[in-house]
Amino acid sequence: MRIGIDARSILNPEKGDAIGIGHYTYQLIRHLLKNDTENEYVIFFDFRVREKDVKKFTKPNVQIKFYPFSDYKKYLPGAYNEILGTATLQKEKLDVLHTTSSYNRIPMSYSGKTVVTFHDMAIFNIPQYIPAVKRARDRVINKLMARKADKIIAVSESLKNDVKKFLNVSDEKISVIYSGLDERFFTQPNMDENKVLGKYGINKKYILFLGTLEPSKNISRLLEAFSIFKRKQKQKKSNKFDYQLVLAGKRGWLSQEYQQIIKDLGLAKDVIFTGYVVGDELVPLFHGAEFFVMPSLYEGFGMTVLEAFATQTPAIISKVASLPELAGDASYFINPLNTEELAEAITLFAGDESLRGQYRAKGLEQAKKYNWDKTALETLKIYKSFNKN
């Protein structure tokens, strides 16, 4: 078979380092090439990436192709993708084309077989937490891709149900294939933990949040819950407070509001913003944390929960969308709309080392269920199903 994969989300000069979908695409391709030497792969990159950046994908059964027309966007915003995109793809005579995100458009006039991976349905589930322009645009693109795809991969059962519900897709068209987990999270950190903590000014016990700082992640309620926790701790410990809340991740929509909330709650000395954390720093950051908290209002998958599990960092997470399915009984669940409940969970975890130990053990076992080799082989079965038609 001749299999095409749109890899532009990995090395996109406009978007910087690969996160989220880029990580999924990179790991999927890496493990497909590791496990499949029989089929031919055509991997498409943005024409502006450097050749040295794609050398790691060089194999005897791989051809690297570059979309040569990205600059035309400014001149032909709609037509360029249809006319030039179709021409580029048709020329390769692919048996199947896989676009690894429903936000990466396949030209409507492309006539080959297609697979599309869907990662989340936040624009339909929690529309009030998404910017209006982005919400309108992304709804249109998702509906187009759902119609265009011959087969859809959903990264959780919860997401599959949402795709069926919101995009009117038949059950048999969708396959659930869980994402894998990077093996480095199971290993000891390469970087010195104290050095990483020192870099960010972390000098107390700390609670870790990791993700884009935006309304869908429920940061405002997390800050309020942390404030309640602080008040209770100071009452219990004669006005002493020995915790920090570390918010790790890039700033997203409306994130400027959090500074004012922190000021209003009197948390200026207790909350640390790290910004985007590079890969090598993630494991020591998890290892150093007392526990991890993810009070999201919605998650299509929730990779950071698995990362916490693998590093034996006990986790408090929302009982919403895919998270109960993903975490099993390995996490302490809360209602993300109940700030008092979140505060109580934080207080409970902070005061009970035995409880944290129980969740460390459960989390590690749960994390072992997710690996990229399994994801790649199940995805390969989807590709091969087109050979039978």
Q: Distance between CA atoms of 307 and 291, rounded to whole angstroms?
A: 12
pLDDT in tens, 181-192: 999 999 988 789
Q: Distance between CA atoms of 265 and 262, rounded to whole angstroms?
A: 5
pLDDT at 168 over 90: yes
Q: Distance between CA atoms of 291 and 140, rounded to whole angstroms?
A: 39
Do domains 2-179+372-388 and 183-367 share one topology? The answer is yes
Confidence (pLDDT) at 13: 41
Q: Distance between CA atoms of 148 and 103, rounded to whole angstroms?
A: 12
CATH-assigned architecture of domain 2-179+372-388: 3-Layer(aba) Sandwich (3.40)
The closest alpha carbon to 110, from 135, 129, 82, 78, belongs to 82
Confidence of residue 362 (pLDDT cuts 50, 70, 90): very high
pLDDT in tens, 16-72: 444 689 899 999 999 999 999 999 999 998 777 767 778 889 999 999 998 765 554
Mention every residue, 6+ apart, whose C-beta is less than 8 A from residue 213.
Answer: 219, 247, 249, 250, 251, 252, 255, 258, 273
- Which whole-number Å values give the CA distances from 278 to 58, 191, 309, in the listed order? 25, 11, 19
Confidence of residue 285 (pLDDT cuts 50, 70, 90): very high
CB distance 113 to 87 below 8 Å? no
CB distance 142 to 120 below 8 Å? no
Q: Distance between CA atoms of 382 and 100, rounded to whole angstroms?
A: 13
CB distance 3 to 96 below 8 Å? yes
CB distance 65 to 42 below 8 Å? yes
The closest alpha carbon to 22, from 81, 80, 85, 104, belongs to 104
Each as own residue / partner, the long-range contacts of residues 189-197 (CB below 8 Å, 24 or more positions apart, any chain) are: 189/280, 189/283, 189/284, 189/287, 190/280, 190/283, 191/280, 191/281, 191/283, 191/284, 192/284, 193/284, 193/287, 193/288, 196/281, 196/284, 196/285, 196/288, 197/284, 197/285, 197/288
Per DSSP, the three-state class of 358 is helix
Mean pLDDT of 165-191: 94
CB distance 43 to 5 below 8 Å? yes
Q: Distance between CA atoms of 13 and 378, rounded to whole angstroms?
A: 30
- CA 304 to chain centroid, in Å, comes to 7
| pTM summary value | 0.93
Per DSSP, the three-state class of 200 is coil
Confidence (pLDDT) at 19: 65
CB distance 24 to 10 below 8 Å? no
Domain spans in the chain, listed from the N-terminal domain onward: 2-179+372-388, 183-367
| DSSP for residue 106 | P
Strands lying side by side in the sheet with 271-275? 271-275, 243-248, 205-210, 291-294, 315-318, 332-334
pLDDT in tens, 6-15: 998 886 544 4
CATH class for the domain made up of 183-367: alpha beta
